[in-house]
Amino acid sequence: MTTHRHARLDPPRVALDPRRWWALAVLAASLLVVVMDMTILNVALPEMAAELHLTSVSQLWVVDAYALALAGLLIPVTALGDRWGRKRMLLTGYAAFAVGSIAILWADSAAAVIAIRALLGIGGAMVMPSTLSLIRAVFTDARERTLALSIWGATAALGAAVGPVVGGALLERFSWHAAFLVNVPLMVVAIAAAAWLLRENRSARPGRIDLVGVLLSAGGMTAFVYAAKLLGKHGPELPTLALLALGVGMLAAFARTALTSDRPMLDVRLFAQPVLRAGVVAALASSAAMAAVLFVGSQWLQLVEGWSPLEAGLALLPLAVGAMVASPFAPALAERTSPRIVLSGGLLVLAIGLGLLAVVPTTYVWVAVAFGVVGLGTSSLGLGSALIMGAATDDQAGSAAAVEEITYELGAVLGITFLGSLVGAVYRAGLPAGADGAARESVAGAVGGPWFAEAADAFVIAFASVGAVGAVLAGVSAYAVWRLVPADLTLDDAHH
């Protein structure tokens, strides 16, 4: 690949935007809020369910509505942003977040809360790819762009880990509404700062937005994600497998139509590049590991160890600290050695961290060290993002951003689905034959009951099994990335 300076409206050498690091601060902070919203609700849900008399089904929908709306709309909304303006789409997403978060004050039923969560998901679909596209536009220097995208990756990891802390802290002082209302002042500041700091950015050749493409992409993504979630909760039942097949079929049909179009809504030709595929593998593995460890780790801390939501949230922070420490150094290390070594090495560190969890996690100090090493390993998420965004031309930036976001979302969903269901299977297998139905259902059902000691032991072994399987998957991902990334690739080569 060759590097070339963009000469659209610039002198022969691109002048660096003096406000670019401030712009990054705004984009990263808004991403933090969006990602926090995925995990903050886990802490607020019990109190919300009690006050609104939510059934177990409606609780699932309150949690899932956000992810389904976000995943389903990523492709069409990103394509619309390419045409309409990425800054404009970002500001609209911020506004959707603020409106949805205020509306929670009037929500008095399951349907109202589910609708608000879906609106926040739509806002997330507007914000997340826009942040990536705008980072790519603001940072014209390849090295600075890689650092900026690494900081973006660290922010995503931080948001996932900080959500439960913020949620726990708010719930100790206020009602569950605070988990939503905290977004409002943050979004007002984000709208003002983004309006001032960011320049409008569009694609010179935006994809055509057609109804069939929207239905296939949105329907396919929603069906796939929902089926994956159902698989994790109920196992391979026939309706779930049928829904999964429908989702895959719709996405395959969407990809086929995109390949035949000269201006597709999502440029799937990007996948022809091994470097982009390597970035996808790295982001998928990092995101899946982070989501699964947060999900299972918080259950272990609260249900087995008996910690409060706030204490459990704080105990998960080594994950975020590891990511925050390693991510900014990844680009400099990649420049000294090579992107191939750093990306594969990051995934190997991730495998080591997960392997530490596989050595039966009984004391928090041991688990905290493992969390920190897992966090260090997820620094490959940012460098993976840089490879994905760097594989695209200016016109393909929206498509690359959508690919990155879909990878991040699917990683989280698949991590919780498959590693979460592994926990359920190992946990039930470890229970004595005479254990009652509540204990068999989950470790939460065993708390305070006669089978709690046995259930706690079984859950610890299940937690360790996630570490073992996750370590193998991260190791395989490291090997795949090593094979996909050329040995002589430099950071300059990785950027169009």
Is the model's pTM score more than 0.75? yes
H-run or E-run covering 480: helix 452-484
Question: Average pLDDT in the 387-404 region?
Answer: 86
Q: Per-residue pLDDT for 428 more than 70?
A: yes
**Domain boundaries of the chain, sorted by first residue:** 20-208+261-484, 209-260
With b for 16 or more beta-carbon neighbours within 10 A and e for fewer, the 95-115 pattern comes to: bbbbebbebbeebeebeebbe
Q: Does the structure show a pLDDT above 90 at 469?
A: yes
pLDDT digits (tens, 9 = 90+) for 260-307: 988 899 999 999 899 899 999 998 998 898 888 988 888 898 888 988
Per the model's pLDDT, the better-predicted residue between 201 and 248 turns out to be 248
For 329-345, write each residue's pLDDT tens digit.
888 888 888 889 999 99
Task: State which amino acid sits at residue 179.
Answer: A
Provide mean pLDDT across the span 171-177: 84
Distance, CA of 335 to CA of 330 (rounded, Å): 9
Give the chain's end-to-end CA distance (angstroms, integer): 8
Q: What does the DSSP assignment read for 182-196?
A: THHHHHHHHHHHHHH
**Cβ neighbour number for residue 174 with a 10 Å cutoff:** 12
For 265-405, list the strands marked E by DSSP: none
| Residue 474 pLDDT class (50, 70, 90 cuts) | very high
Give the pLDDT confidence score for residue 328 in this predicted structure.
81
Give the three-state DSSP class for 208. coil
Q: At what angle do helices 274-299 and 380-390 cross, to 10 degrees?
A: 150
26, 190 contact by CB (below 8 A): yes
Rounded Cα gap, residues 435 and 451, in angstroms: 6
Where does the pLDDT of residue 112 fall: very low under 50, low under 70, confident under 90, or very high at 90 and above?
A: very high
Q: What Rg do the C-alpha atoms of the chain give, in angstroms?
A: 22
pLDDT tens for residues 35-62?
Answer: 887 777 777 777 888 888 887 778 878 8
Angstrom distance (rounded) from CA 46 to CA 53: 10
Q: At 287, list the tokens.
A: 């995101």
**C-alpha–C-alpha distance, residues 361 and 25, integer Å:** 37
CA 139 to chain centre: 23
pLDDT band at 412; cut points 50, 70, 90: confident
Which residues touch 331 (CB under 8 Å, ≥6 apart)?
Answer: 143, 146, 147, 150, 383, 386, 491
Q: What is the dihedral of CA 188, 194, 196, 202, to 10 degrees?
A: -140
Torsion angle of C-alpha atoms 479, 484, 490, 491, degrees rounded to 10: -90
202 pLDDT more than 90: no
Q: How far is CA 64 from CA 60, 152, 226, 334, 367, in A?
A: 6, 24, 8, 37, 28
Question: Hey, what are 448's tokens?
Answer: 């305070």
Q: What average pLDDT does the segment 384-413 reach?
A: 86
pLDDT confidence of 361, banded at 50, 70, 90?
low
Structural tokens at position 454: 């046995």
Residue 484 · residue 274 · CB < 8 Å: yes
Q: How far apart are CA 402 and CA 421, in angstroms?
A: 28
Q: What pLDDT is recorded for position 99?
A: 94
- Is 70 exceeded by the pLDDT of residue 237? yes
The Cα 322–Cα 375 span in angstroms is 4
Report in angstroms the alpha-carbon separations of 281 from 58, 61, 382, 419, 478: 34, 29, 12, 17, 9
322: amino acid identity, one letter = G
Can you tell me the distance from the alpha carbon of 171 to that of 63, in angstroms, rounded to the nearest whole number? Answer: 17
Q: Identify the pLDDT of residue 493.
A: 66
Confidence of residue 242 (pLDDT cuts 50, 70, 90): very high
Question: Taking 80 as the threshold, does the pLDDT of residue 16 lie above it?
Answer: no
pLDDT on residue 5: 40
Average pLDDT value for residue range 418-436: 85
Banded pLDDT at 417 (limits 50, 70, 90): confident
User: For residue 168, what are the CA distances in angstroms to 93, 165, 259, 307, 444?
Assistant: 26, 5, 47, 11, 18
Are the C-beta atoms of 270 and 78 separated by less than 8 Å?
Answer: no
Amino acid 250: pLDDT: 96
Residue at token pair 């919203």: 37
CA distance 464 to 188: 43
Question: How far is Cα 171 from Cα 179, in angstroms, rounded to an integer?
Answer: 8
Predicted confidence (pLDDT) at residue 191 exceeds the cutoff of 90: yes
Residue 157 has, within 13 A of its CA and on its CB side, a CA count of 40
Structure tokens at 235: 């196992």
Question: What number does CATH give the domain 20-208+261-484?
Answer: 1.20.1250.20
- What is the CA angle 344-348-354, rounded to 5? 145
**pLDDT above 50: residue 10:** no
Q: What pLDDT is recorded for position 413?
A: 85
Both tokens assigned to 409: 């979302």
Under 8 Å between Cβ of 391 and 276:
yes
